[in-house]
Amino acid sequence: MRAELVAWLLGHAAVRLHESDAPADLQHRIRLLGLTGGDRWTDPHWPGHRY
């Protein structure tokens, strides 16, 4: 179920948010949902990331 929701958010919501000039923070949080595995933990914008 999570994979389907993430796929929809990344494939549809991200484009619509961008086109409607949604806040950058919201667009960024949608992008973070698409990160998996090591990419998630090494992304400097992921909550809890340690430098």
Q: How far, in Å, CA of 38 to CA of 2, rounded?
A: 18
Question: Measured between alpha carbons, how far is residue 42 from residues 7, 14, 32, 47 in Å?
Answer: 21, 22, 11, 11
pLDDT at 46: 76
pLDDT at 23: 92
pLDDT for 50 beyond 90: no
pLDDT digits (tens, 9 = 90+) for 1-37: 778 888 888 888 878 888 999 998 888 888 888 787 7
Q: How far, in Å, CA of 41 to CA of 37, rounded?
A: 7
Rounded to two decimals, the pTM is 0.60
Q: How far, in Å, CA of 46 to CA of 11, rounded?
A: 20
pLDDT at 37: 79
Instruction: Give the residue carrying structure tokens 């919201």.
Output: 26
Domain ranges across the chain: 2-42
